[in-house]
Every structure is written in structure tokens, then in C-alpha cells.
Structure 1
Amino acid sequence: MIPRPELLRDLSSSYTLTQGTTVSGDLVDAVRVALSRFDPLPGDSGEIDVRRDPGLGEEAYRLTVGSRGVEIAAGGRAGAFYAAQSLHQLLPPASYRFSPGASWPVPGVRIEDAPRFAWRGLHLDVARHFFPKREILRLIDLMATHKLNRLHLHLVDDQGWRVESRAYPLLHEVSSHRPRSATNYHREPEAYDDVPHGGYYTLDDLAEMGAYARARCVTIVPEIDVPGHASAILAAYPSLGATGEPYDVLDRWGISSAILSPLPPTVEFLTTIFDELLGALGETPYVHLGGDEVVLDHWAASPEIVAYRESLGLDTSGELQAWFLRRLADALAERGTRAVVWDEAFVSGALRQDTIVMPWRGMNVGRRAAAAGHDVVATPVFPLYFDYAESSSADEPMAIGDATTVEDVAAFRPAPDEWTEEERAHVIGVQGQLWTERVPDARTVDYRLWPRTCALAEVAWAGSASGDFGDRLAEHLGRLDALGVEYRPAGGPHPWQRRRPHRPSATRVMDVMARIDAMTHDAESTRPSV
């Protein structure tokens, strides 16, 4: 099973499940959704009996399979859902295919289980390359199969805005598409495909996606990345920028100098966008504000912005960025939602204490955030950026660098033993990131995510991967085959997955880690006192 349960004990008896299996008890809906391929039927007494146990946590469960059927005790709906996912993994891989009239033997077992981390996340960048609603729903199903429960959607960047706005319609009319995309491996010299790219989710799409995710115990975390990475926003509404100059939706990768103004009209604009997002998605406990890779030059050069900063009693543009993000986090808090940021926002200082920090530049800055009392979701480039290739072979599809393997992900420890107990307590989860500059389609998404996300799921649920993870993964690949997942084979890519000839040499991931480690130390040395 992946992820591995906390306790699994074999029993001597067994049972056979069939199409039309009946389910009864307190949390029938959760089990029916998890076992939708069986289409289990509700009944007064069922072959699967599920009961709420107030002594268990919301996501915890006990599962017993014996000669009389299946018994589930769960602390809440999520626990019942995960118990049913574990039940499904006890069946043969063929049970993940639609097979009318099939019956499946279930070995006798007793499982007692609960997750180590509350936040078990996966990030998908839909700004650089857009993926339609059907792909998001499919990804939610795959996450649920692996007991992952946070889908972080990167909805806006320099290269595109991906959600309808009825209050600011130029965002989806103008900012949702670009005339071409960069195709080169390195950023210079630029090479382009001259093919228009675009797309966006309607607010009705978001409502459907939010409801579909909640039914599968997944929370969608939308990201509106500000104040930098703003070319797409400013292509529609240049008056919201620091200079007022016109912009185009960016057609190359990398960091741009485009930045939103921190003045009150921008805050009003963003709070309106938040209201639209929250209203469409429904229950949305988290909104990601970004705060990364911000170029502050235009703020420092603007007399109006400098005067505004001084009126707030702030000395530097960095302090103004911190104030701006806190103002937005306050607006979210008024709406019952917690802000999430990348680690640069923490280094800038002055965050609300309840703001969640994602330390992408390494767990050293994550430890500083935890020591400062912030909850942390572990997101380091190595080994949790899945846009890196899985080997240094020239056969690998184009990636930002190499190599991050399944074994690297499985070896990761989100809450290291050398941290203090208080620091470890602030690590609320772990999340894998897929940035899509070099991920143009859904087949490549599959190749990049799987099976590395299987290792992520194990670490997120169990806290670490056990020594037999490799053996269990080899068996688990049969389930991915049945589900139609085009994962990377252990021996390397299939011929149709290989990189085109003349692939340039990639940047080694350890060289990148050395650079960003130096960045965080430099930033920490200039961090204002708070």
C-alpha cells in the first residue's frame, strides 16, 4: 500500500467484494465516493459498515476485513474516505479499471491509521502553461487515491492570468493568453514557438472544481502571486503598476521587473479578486499570496510610492513590501482565510503570525520561520521541485535541471530530527511543486509527477518512507497503469517520452541549491528588525 499505514496486521479470514456492494452506517457518502468504480449502494445493513468513532481524529480510521465483511471506524468523513482508499488498495490493480460484474477477493486485515502531517500538498503551475478543468479533476482523483489533500493552483504569473473576473474582465479577456512561448532550455538567447497559448477557468469552473475536490477530501489553495510577477495583470490594467507604463503578457521565462503598486487602489483591486475567488470556490481556508522574486526598483524610483512609504513610517521598499503583504493577509483574515507565502515574504519581515510559510529555497529558512512561530509547509527545491529531471541522461525530456529521483523524494524528512521539538511542531506539512515552463501538456505532467508523487504521498502521510518502499512502489505501478497514468518508468523514458536530440547540458540541482542557499543567507543579513 502507498502510503503505508501506521499499523497493518494480517488476519486469517477474507472476503469478496462485488459490483453493487452495499454500504451502511454513519459516513456512507465518503465511502461511496472513494469506491465509485464499484458504485456501492446504501442499505440498512451492508457488506461495508462504517461508523463514526469520536475517539479518533478527523482523518484517522480503523479498517477490519473478515469473513462477515468490512468494518470501518472513522473519526470523520475524511477518515472514512481514506479507509475506503486503503480498502481499494487491498484489491488487485485490475480493480482500478471499469469492470462491470467483477468480483474481488479482499484479504483479511486490521489497519489502524492516521496521517503524520495535516498538509499533504501538490502544486501545479497553470499560469506558465494552462491545463483545462478536466485535467484538474483528474489530478484531484489521483491525489485522493494517494491521500494527498491540498491542491495548490498557481493561477497567475507574468505569463498568464487563469481565472475569470467579472469585476475586472480584461484579466481574462486580455491577460489569459500570449502570442508565443519561449522554447529554449536556457534563458538566452531566446527561441520561440510562435504558437499562441492561453486559457482560463470560469468562476463556474472554480465552483465545480472546489466542490469536486471537497467531496474527495482535497482543499484547493488558489495563488494570486503579488506584488511581483505582475506582467499579465498589468497588460490588462497598467494603472495598477508602479509606473503606469503598458505591459504585454510575458512570452519568455524568468523574472520580470513588473510590479504592482502598493497604493490603496491595488489593495482594493486584490480584495475584490479575493472575494470573487472565495465566492466561487466555496470553503477556502487558505489563499497563497506569493511574495517571491520581487524586483523593488520601480517602487524606489517612484516619488508617489516613496511618499506613501514615508507616510506609513517605513524606511525601505522591503519594509513596504512586508506591509503590503500583511495588509492583504489582514483582508483575508477578515474573510476567515489564512494567508500563505513563499519564504522571501518571511525574510522581508512583519508577517501576520498566522501566515503559513513555504520555504522553497531550503529548510534552513524554513527552520527560521518555524523558530519565529510560523507554521511551515516544507517545499524545498531539492527534492520537491518536480520540474527537475529524474536523471542526468540525455534521454530525459527538457527540464530546468537535473536530477531529482524517486529515492531522493522518499529520503526527505520534512521535520528533521536536529530541529527542536517546538520547531518540528510548526511543520504542518509537505508539498511537491510542478512549475510548467517546460511542461507543455498533460502527458508531460504525468511524466514529471509520477511516481515521484507516490514517494511524496508516503512521506506526507507516514512522516518518512520505509525500507520496503521500493518494493511496494513496483507493485503500485500496476494501479497507475490501470488508472492510465503515463508515469516515468524506472528504467528511463519510453521512446515517445524521450528528449529530442541535441539536448543542452542541464543545470545540476546541487549547484542550484548552493546558489539559493547563498541567496537566503544574503537576504537574512539585510532583513529588518521586527
Structure 2
Amino acid sequence: MDLIPEPLRSWPAPRGGATGAAFPLDAETAVEAGTGTEGVARWWRTYVGAATGLPFPDASGATADNLVVLEIDPAAGRELGPEGYRITVDDAEVRVAGGSAAGVFWGAQTLRQLLGADAFRAAPTGAGRQWSVPTGVIEDAPRFAWRGLMLDVSRHFTPKDGVLRQLDLLAAHKLNVFHFHLTDDQGWRIEIESHPKLTEIGAWRARTRWGHRASELWEEKPHGGYYTKADLREIVAYAAERHITVVPEIEIPGHSQAAIAAYPELGNADVPDADGTDGADGTGGTDGTFGTGGGVTVWDSWGVSPHVLAPTAHVLRFYEDVFEEVLDVFPAATSPFIHVGGDECPKDQWRASPAAQARIEELGLADEDALQAWFIRHFDRWLAARGRRLIGWDEILEGINLVDGAAESGAVEGGTAGTGLSPGAAVSSWRGYAGGIAAAKAGHDVVMCPEQQVYLDHRQAPGDDEPMPIGYVRTLEDIYRFEPVPPQLTPEEAAHVLGTQANVWTEVMQDRSRVDYQVFPRLAAFAEVAWSALPAPGERDFADFEQRMAEHYRRLDALGVEYRPPGGPLPWQRRPGVLGRPREGTPPVG
């Protein structure tokens, strides 16, 4: 059937039925939407109805032998789980039964694939086209509850319609988490009414480096943009219709130069020359200063900025204001997790800041790592008190067992032993598996997204043709063979692996075409890793997957996705002469 992701099991005809038959869809085919599946029916009529030109009227008054039936079936839920589904096609009807509305929706996605690639178009491609579904039964369920994609919109802004398109592409691949990287050194992308300069100033930069940060090329024009609260509520609702959870990310305490550019008092103002812009390589000056005295601006280059938030009461209150508005826009029902970043926070300014050093002494902390842990723990408690779960990159584990003088092996009151984080706090493990292993062993939930395996900004092949090559070579087959659960975990610890996520950092992805090129077709391989059951360790059949991809490329073509062709980039997809940062050899596993 050339389905992607591959379903759990299938057989060619309903039990006792004839093989080789098909159920035809025509202008009389009605949709019977059971209680709770009305949104799935609406999606079906909007998208499959547009592609086929068929009206799919409501089933009331329709003949009983020409139906698409959508239903939530408790029995299917007990057998296959809430996101599982069963599709049964015979000569009378197509029935999609799911353990929940989400399960029915994923079943509808599979049904769309069964109709052929033209079912992914926005309008019919020819009059008189006959549509049919092969008879048979498919039973399916996801391996992981968290099947995600992170999109960085700070380095290069993705307009709202592009975000909605990404959500449709996630849904088509049965991915159910959209990690929305909204703030960074190069741009602040979320409207905060209580602090309007975050978007008035922080959302715009004067120019942009073209290529890797060592490149001497520049795009000499302003770049930026942001989402209004109305935009974001629309995105959240659009995602919810597709059973996708949105996880907003607000970076603290590092990756904050755009915020400091908008409100300089958020930075470490007592550090010599901290009000200046940093050098092109993203480091502080060799003389111990951090800039040129020209005023901190939204960063126009890439790397890790030395400008970090000051550990003051004012900064805490400021970001509580920010998170209050974030929680309002991203409600708990659709966004239980709030990502706080926490990665790549250089400590140079804190070491040079008398105020930061006084804060360390006042709190009885061991060092600057513990100061970052104190910062993260403050917002962990703040979010937990409001019914939300903090999630952060694996650096949030660093120094955190030193908070409030906790012993190395002891627990902090109200926290999990050895970390001091609340029991609901979770970790995005990006620097390999080690952070995720440590978090799972400490009792925290984990999302596995190791840079060396599932960073889709990494190049897809060796050679000079890859546009602005970054990182290690990660081919379609490499992604397909990624295993999210490390063998070092016991079954009880492995249960803390919520799932996995592919990350898309956009420093060298200046528009939709470049994002498409880097993400596809590898996202299809990743989707199967996240969804489909693993036959046995190391036993995924790439040859079979590659054969099924032949049909999937036709679906991507119908959707207008500008993926990397199997034979290499097309001439207009290359970027000759633009410096990247390829890394050689095999990426480390740990």
C-alpha cells in the first residue's frame, strides 16, 4: 500500500470478504461523523473534498451502502490506545474507528494516502476521475506519544501562512507536537503587550549574515517579523484541529540578545562595556569586555551570544509578565508544556558582574552553573504552580543539584532527587543521549532529539553541491535508522522517554524553499521512526521504506514540497560559494 508511516498490521480484505475489490467514492458518498469526530469530518471535506471535487454530504438520509463512517470506538481504544485506529473497507462502507478523535484523525490521514497522490492536491486535476479505496483492514497505533518537529523562527522568520503549512505537513506524517522556537538572539517573535519593545525593537535586525558565521557575505537589508496574539491563537486552534500540541519556547537565561536589545536593563549592565555589541564571531573581546560600546542590537550573525539575562529580581518579574501572556495565548488544554530553552548560556558576564557575584553569595550557591540552575528552578516552580510543565534543553540539569545547598545525592524539598526540578519537569536531550539518560534515571520525562542524529539543518550528503553544508552527513537512511530509546535504560527508565523530535535550526534557511529542502524527505523517515513499531533492535527495513518512498515523493510533489531529490540538489537548490560548516567523520553516538 506504500503507506508512510508503515502501519502496525494490515490484511487485504475484511475477514470473510473477497480480495482485490475496491470501494468507490462518488458524489453520493456521504460522511457519517460519530460524536466527537465532527472536526475530522470537517477536515476531510475541506482537504479531501477539495482534491476530489466530491461533496461528501452528511449521512442523514443517505443510503446505507455508500458511507465513510468516522467513529470513536472504546474497543479500539482498549486494543490500540487513544491514538490508535482501525480502518475497515468492504463493499458497503469505509469505517474509521479510533480510540479517540485523534485516532480517527490519524486514520483519516491513512485513508487519504490510500486514495493516491492526487488526493493531496488543492483541487481536482481532471474531470471524470474515479476515486476508490482498496478493500481491507488496517490496524495501527503509534510507538511514541511525543512525535515532534521543532521550527526555529527566530533566525529566519516564517510568516503565519508558512507555519500553518508546516502544521498540515506534520499532520500528513502523523506528527503531533510542534515545538515553536519563538525567541533567540536574532529575533523576538511573540507579541507581549506588557513589554511592547520586545517586538518593536527585538523583532527586527538591520542585516543578516549569508551562510555560516565565518562567511564574509551579508544580506544588507532588514529582516524580521513577529506573530500577534491573534495570529498565535489562530495557530494554536489550527494545530488543535489537527491534534497537534504546540510547545512555545521562550529562551532563558541565554540566547537573549534580542530581548536585551529591546530592554537593556535585562542585561548585566555592571559588566565593563556590556552595553556594546559583540564581535562577529559571537565572543567577547580579548580584553575582558563584551562589545564596542555602541549599544546592544538584535544580533545579525550566528553562534552563541555572550549577552545573557542578569540574575535580578527585576528580570524575574519581567519574564513572569512574559510567561503570563504566553500561558494566556497557549492554554493548558493544548499546550501543557512550556519550553524555557536553558541551553548554551555562557557565564562570562556573570563572572565579571559584581551584581551577579553578589547574587551567588546571597543565595549560597556554589558557582555560576548553580546560578543558572536557580534561574531555571524559579520558573519551574512558577509554571508548576499554574498547572504547566517546564521543559528545557539538557543543560537545565547542569548545576541544579547544588541549588539551595542540596547535597550531591540529596533531594531538594518539592523536587526530584538529584535534580531539584519539579517531578513534572522534562528534558529535551539534544547533546546526544547522555542528558536524556541522566534525566530518565532521575525520574524525569525525556524527549530524545540528539543533534548528531535528528538535526535536519545538518547536510544530507557529502560533496560541494549541498547548499551551505552544516554539520555531519545525515542521509535519509541515517534518519531512518535512528533509535530514540538508548539501551542503557531499564524498562522502567525507558518509560520516561515520551518520544522523539527532529529539530530545524534556520541560520542558513532563509526561506520556505530552503526549509523544505532540509526537512524533506528526511521528515518522512523520521515520522516512521516516531510512529511505527520497531520490529527488533536494528531491524528496520530501509529497502522497503525506500520503495514506499517512490509513491510518497508523488504526495510531496502534490503538496508543493521542494524536497531534496534522491539524486541530489537541483541546480537552483545549490548555493555555490556560500560558506557552510561541514563536520567530517561519523557523529558520536553518546
TM-score, reference length from structure 1: 0.93
Q: Residues 429-464 of structure 1: CA distance to partner in whole angstroms, max 9, x if unpaired? A: 111111011000001111011000000100000144
Q: How does 1:94-133 map to 2 (within 5 A)?
A: 94-97=118-121, 98-99=123-124, 102-133=129-160
Contact 2:207 / 2:219 at 8 angstroms: preserved in 1? yes
Does 2:526 match 1:456? yes
Does 2:423 match 1:353? yes
Does 2:259 match 1:251? no
Give the Cα–Cα distance (whole angstroms) in 1 for the partners of residues 186 and 557 of structure 2.
Answer: 33
Report the counterpart of residue 405 of structure 1 in structure 2: 475
Does 2:101 match 1:52? no
Does 2:197 match 1:209? no
Structure 2 counterpart of 1:146, from 152, 157, 173: 173
What displacement does 1:92 show?
Answer: 1.4
What displacement does 1:192 show?
Answer: 2.0
Q: Which moved more, 1:357-366 or 1:488-497?
A: 357-366
Does 2:43 match 1:21? no
Contact 1:20 / 1:38 at 8 angstroms: preserved in 2? no
Number of residue pairs the alignment of both structures matches: 513
Contact 1:402 / 1:506 at 8 angstroms: preserved in 2? no
Paired amino acid for 2:423 = Q
Paired amino acid for 2:137 = R
Q: Residues 325-380 of structure 1: CA distance to partner in whole angstroms, max 9, x if unpaired? A: 11112211222221111111123323323211111110123212211111111111
Calculate the aligned-residue CA RMSD, in Å. Answer: 1.9
Structure 1 counterpart of 2:260, from 224, 234, 240: 234
Structure 1 residue runs without a partner (length 5+): 518-530
Report the counterpart of residue 473 of structure 1 in structure 2: 549
Contact 1:82 / 1:147 at 8 angstroms: preserved in 2? yes
Report the counterpart of residue 378 of structure 1 in structure 2: 448
Contact 2:177 / 2:245 at 8 angstroms: preserved in 1? yes
Structure 1 counterpart of 2:190, from 159, 163, 169: 163
Residues 35 and 476 of structure 1, relative CA distance in 2, 3 Å threshold? farther
Residues 288 and 509 of structure 1, relative CA distance in 2, 3 Å threshold? farther
What displacement does 1:311 show?
Answer: 2.5
Identity of aligned residues (%): 44
Report the counterpart of residue 285 of structure 2 in structure 1: none
Contact 1:176 / 1:199 at 8 angstroms: preserved in 2? yes
Give the Cα–Cα distance (whole angstroms) in 1 for the partners of residues 150 and 585 of structure 2.
Answer: 22
Give the Cα–Cα distance (whole angstroms) in 1 for the partners of residues 508 and 203 of structure 2.
Answer: 18
Q: Which moved more, 1:373-382 or 1:44-53?
A: 44-53
Give the Cα–Cα distance (whole angstroms) in 2 for the partners of residues 140 and 232 of structure 1.
Answer: 26
Q: Residues 294-349 of structure 1: CA distance to partner in whole angstroms, max 9, x if unpaired? A: 01122233232222333322221111211111111221122222111111112332
Does 2:5 match 1:3? yes
Give the Cα–Cα distance (whole angstroms) in 1 for the partners of residues 313 and 426 of structure 2.
Answer: 24
Give the Cα–Cα distance (whole angstroms) in 2 for the partners of residues 102 and 199 of structure 1.
Answer: 43
Paired amino acid for 1:290 = G
Report the counterpart of residue 417 of structure 2 in structure 1: none
Structure 2 counterpart SS, 1:42: coil
Residues 75 and 312 of structure 1, relative CA distance in 2, 3 Å threshold? same
Report the counterpart of residue 87 of structure 2 in structure 1: 63
Q: Residues 44-69 of structure 1: CA distance to partner in whole angstroms, max 9, x if unpaired? A: 36611122222302211111011001
TM-score, reference length from structure 2: 0.83
Give the Cα–Cα distance (whole angstroms) in 2 for the partners of residues 362 and 241 of structure 1.
Answer: 31
Give the Cα–Cα distance (whole angstroms) in 2 for the partners of residues 203 and 300 of structure 1.
Answer: 37
Give the Cα–Cα distance (whole angstroms) in 2 for the partners of residues 353 and 198 of structure 1.
Answer: 37
Residues 306 and 404 of structure 1, relative CA distance in 2, 3 Å threshold? same
Structure 2 residue runs without a partner (length 5+): 14-18, 50-55, 276-294, 401-419, 535-539
Does 2:48 match 1:38? yes
Does 2:409 match 1:389? no
Give the Cα–Cα distance (whole angstroms) in 1 for the partners of residues 386 and 29 of structure 2.
Answer: 42
Give the Cα–Cα distance (whole angstroms) in 2 for the partners of residues 101 and 271 of structure 1.
Answer: 59
Q: Residues 106-142 of structure 1: CA distance to partner in whole angstroms, max 9, x if unpaired? A: 0012111111100000011100000100000001001
Residues 19 and 406 of structure 1, relative CA distance in 2, 3 Å threshold? farther
Structure 1 counterpart of 2:201, from 174, 193, 202: 174
Report the counterpart of residue 286 of structure 2 in structure 1: none
Structure 2 counterpart of 1:320, from 360, 371, 383: 371
Give the Cα–Cα distance (whole angstroms) in 1 for the partners of residues 510 and 452 of structure 2.
Answer: 22
